[in-house]
Structure 1
């Protein structure tokens, strides 16, 4: 690949000098930043691009040439057209190179060396094209500059840490990861934020908990306006690339916006996903990004079911003495371990490429997983169904630039949302204040073990579970199942013997779980559970202090809009197209129960008036549920938002009766409540709900 780039660049340079083109108008040159910007998708690659309109002599100014200048240019020609585009490269007023595009329908990335031209001369690109051309990147770099450390996050999907040799597993599943652990810092207690991909990776990308980023259930889309790890690195001069092959983190669900380039490697064929194809794309990008500090996210799928490692598993037995489910479990584990070995080999191939490019020592490498996998430890298999350790205990290895703290182990609890803050801190970059995670730098450098509390949640299909962990004590609350349990992971690592009564630290874990669950959900909530009958629910919530709102529902069955100081809504429990759409497979057939949720920003003292109609008539008490069971409020009369205060988990659709109803309640930001300003009755109510 590197030879191809060099040969192509030499061909461009030799062809361009003295080409006899008309003299350009340098005074008309504009910066690429002044061109129309758009996110372009082509063949499952999303890229930030600028548009050069059709015309002759369109000039793009790239600034002064550094000592060892290289022009980096990505070109996409867009829709079908009849001609080619010619791009001339000038150093000052001297023609340095020329290239003709090949009418390619895919992105073409060029590197044009300009060594030998006087440093300080203005670099200008001149486009002659009869059709619009998209460009990105479009810049001149200094090949002699010493870039800051590069950053690689390498995620291996569905990887249990207790199946890696460097974590004590007896099988040699992970020789390349073992080698990385010897050159880095191995964390023994990473807690993922969920037990399936979408919420966990969203927490990794945004450093927020699942209830904050909103990408929790199958049809959920990540909220806009969140902090973004890739975008943060881009602001600090890094070129950000993502390479994925899991359909749960496609741009369709709100992922990838912070990356300059986000590449989907055949996620539609997840059954045949091959880590090698993802690694091939990432290795190729090393050449394209050469000379720039880069941030890479590489997401491979090897250990994810179905377990079918290329070439078979070296751990398969010739025969199995077990019978029934025990035999199947043994075979699946052997295949799973084979998948891990293959994924490890592909990771090793990428490390070898980093070393071949002389990048390994100056790259900060993070290897982790989004969740683990069940093999009937609690009666089930796969993942995304429970929050036991087999699905939350993931590996975390951090290799620092220059090999600092090589071969050390850290026992402190870490979470996925700690990764972003840690990377910024280690590299000396400014904090992103909205990140909810905490930097692990002090733990890495000193071995400190602060008593942190970790949190995970699962809102997937019919499951609605929360978990918290501090030290060896773990708390699990299953809202759909209606139970809560405490486990001591030191004496009961398999989580089979829960405490018969809450342990001394049990109540604080319960409160922590409730408080974290409230984050991201502050505001006034209206929830409609659909039931089986066709109904129309409409009305408004009015208040001068009401802020932004969001409606989570099918766009063909519901809408919300603002008129003055009122937020209006119209919701249908059923729609004539439901049958044609198979009632949205994910929600109606698999999810907790079909529902619509309207959330409106509101301060605790907001004065609110509500009007709710069902099929044109005022809602009846049997269908209306206010706050934490308040029966003394008439929503048609003004009331305060805080009057409807409730525990957000008590209104989880998974735990509510499966029938038509409308729930109206308020969730306060627990960090914004001033207890000293509350009357004793309200203070007691908030304490009972876990706010204080």
Structure 2
């Protein structure tokens, strides 16, 4: 392989693997990604480190588990004393540029160290009024221009597949659709509108794929495509009609909640499974963690290969460290290259760690090829929680008093908790999780976390994206 290839990491926010055509979806949602996957390698069992963007984004950038880097919530910064990929590449002569359309990937969260260019596209482009997928491609293309004399590292964060789901491609829905795709309307969708939500989601995926295709075409036009290690991935998925938030609670209680509080139960999909659920305050189901991951190596080696072994989003940085000579970082991810080059599995399990937005509930999961063990930790709610996040606080209370704190699934079945049937399997995976938590906490002591003030403008954008009740 080339010793110092260009590196492009393209993250598509909230993109599920099973809604991309290169991973078997029956709609052609991603024809341009499909072509890149034919030039490179597909990983059909790739998993995120968290169910939402704040912890997952920092893991993708650092190659560390969420508990290790500590940037878990919107205001949490990536530790200033944590060695950065962009800094290390810059020291080796790389031009470095980041292009973000979301506040969680920002200077506010200390993502910018090491980048020569750090473009906060969201700062003057409202998510309800802007074509964010097009904008991040435009900015990247302008930055690369006709190419650099040195290799470059481009980090692109596209909000194009995140809500709001506005019809843009015109392939699976159009402007005549009966809901407008904003978060408030998505939460109010009825059982009969479940397919409409899917159509909207697929349509934004198709449009975002077109914009990704423009980026790929530009690399080809300037003669840099074959010199580039290109990674495409989702940071987490999206829950649609597959699961309710508390479907593991007893049937009598779910019936009681639906009867006494039908509006609340329906809006937040407490026990209902239809329409739009999102990616907050729900245990880490496959629809939230299983993401697309495509890697096109330099010179398109191993073109068209596909691997079903377990990989993680933190393995992207691990692979970059393996690709570039003398690049050293304190990562926990593995390199994909041993799997690609010799078929050697690199992960016995994959791990996720997802504190909820308000911080009262934390979900961790260990997934092997056949099982997923989930442990939920809850903290007491305060009067401040009730005031600032009333709906999420009620959910936290329900979670604490009514729902199983430990769940074991035989994947792909995630409806049936088999922990009572297989206590030894649960104990084994619990032990692995506890050891990993201890290791993460030990490594995290090396890093110093700080928090930022979240501006009113940022709060407004986050509310539009569903991060505030």
Q: Distance in 2 between matches of 1:239 and 1:554?
A: 28
Task: State the match for 1:636 in structure 2.
Answer: none
Give the Å deviation of 1:466.
0.7
Q: Secondary structure at the match of 1:468?
A: strand
Q: TM-score if structure 2 supplies the norm length? A: 0.76
Task: State the match for 1:347 in structure 2.
Answer: 212
Q: Secondary structure at the match of 1:151?
A: strand
Task: State the match for 1:197 in structure 2.
Answer: 53
Task: Give the 3 Å change call, closer, same or farther, for CA 315–430 of structure 1 in structure 2.
Answer: same
Task: Give the 3 Å change call, closer, same or farther, for CA 362–465 of structure 1 in structure 2.
Answer: same
Decide which of 331, 352, 372 is 1:456's aligned counterpart. Answer: 352
Q: Secondary structure at the match of 1:508?
A: helix
Q: Which runs of 5+ in 2 are unaligned?
A: 179-187, 245-268, 270-276, 379-398, 454-458
Of the structure 1 ranges 211-220 and 268-277, higher mean CA displacement relative to structure 2 is found in: 268-277
Q: Distance in 2 between matches of 1:301 and 1:388?
A: 22
Decide which of 484, 492, 496 is 2:406's aligned counterpart. Answer: 484
Q: Secondary structure at the match of 1:262?
A: strand
Q: Secondary structure at the match of 2:195?
A: helix
Give the Å deviation of 1:392.
0.5
Task: Give the 3 Å change call, closer, same or farther, for CA 402–288 of structure 1 in structure 2.
Answer: closer
Higher relative contact order (CA 8 A, sep 6+): 2
Task: State the match for 1:412 in structure 2.
Answer: 309
Q: Distance in 1 between matches of 2:195 and 2:295?
A: 32
Task: State the match for 1:234 in structure 2.
Answer: 90
Q: Determine if contact 1:421/1:431 at 8 Å carries over to the other structure.
A: no
Task: State the match for 1:270 in structure 2.
Answer: 127
Give the Å deviation of 1:223.
1.8
Give the Å deviation of 1:418.
1.1
Q: Residues 109-153 of structure 1, C-alpha deviation per residue, up to 9 Å, x if partnerless? A: xxxxxxxxxxxxxxxxxxxxxxxxxxxxxxxxxxxxx99321111
Give the Å deviation of 1:438.
1.1
Q: Distance in 2 between matches of 1:334 and 1:553?
A: 38
Q: Determine if contact 1:273/1:302 at 8 Å carries over to the other structure.
A: no
User: 1:507 and 2:427 equivalent?
Assistant: yes
Task: State the match for 1:390 in structure 2.
Answer: 287
Give the Å deviation of 1:415.
1.1
Q: Secondary structure at the match of 1:374?
A: coil
User: 1:475 and 2:340 equivalent?
Assistant: no
Give the Å deviation of 1:360.
0.8
User: 1:285 and 2:207 equivalent?
Assistant: no
Q: Secondary structure at the match of 1:337?
A: helix
Corresponding residue pairs, total? 387
Q: Determine if contact 2:48/2:313 at 8 Å carries over to the other structure.
A: yes
Whose Rg is larger? 1
Give the Å deviation of 1:315.
4.3
Give the Å deviation of 1:316.
6.0
User: 1:496 and 2:415 equivalent?
Assistant: yes
Task: Give the 3 Å change call, closer, same or farther, for CA 418–227 of structure 1 in structure 2.
Answer: farther
Q: Determine if contact 1:373/1:391 at 8 Å carries over to the other structure.
A: yes
Q: Determine if contact 2:419/2:426 at 8 Å carries over to the other structure.
A: no
Task: State the match for 1:159 in structure 2.
Answer: 15
Q: Distance in 1 between matches of 2:209 and 2:361?
A: 32
User: 1:425 and 2:312 equivalent?
Assistant: no
Q: Distance in 2 between matches of 1:175 and 1:277?
A: 20
Q: Determine if contact 1:279/1:350 at 8 Å carries over to the other structure.
A: yes
Q: Distance in 2 between matches of 1:548 and 1:375?
A: 39
Task: Give the 3 Å change call, closer, same or farther, for CA 294–551 of structure 1 in structure 2.
Answer: closer
Q: Distance in 2 between matches of 1:426 and 1:552?
A: 32
Task: Please provide the CA RMSD for this pair.
Answer: 2.9
Q: Distance in 1 between matches of 2:134 and 2:319?
A: 29
- Aligned 1:606-685 pairs, distance under 5 A: none
Q: TM-score if structure 1 supplies the norm length? A: 0.52
Q: Residues 14-72 of structure 1, C-alpha deviation per residue, up to 9 Å, x if partnerless? A: xxxxxxxxxxxxxxxxxxxxxxxxxxxxxxxxxxxxxxxxxxxxxxxxxxxxxxxxxxx
Give the Å deviation of 1:219.
2.5
Q: Distance in 2 between matches of 1:420 and 1:315?
A: 37
- Aligned 1:113-262 pairs, distance under 5 A: 148-262=4-118
Task: State the match for 1:310 in structure 2.
Answer: 168
Task: Give the 3 Å change call, closer, same or farther, for CA 288–259 of structure 1 in structure 2.
Answer: farther
Give the Å deviation of 1:519.
3.9
Q: Determine if contact 1:411/1:449 at 8 Å carries over to the other structure.
A: no
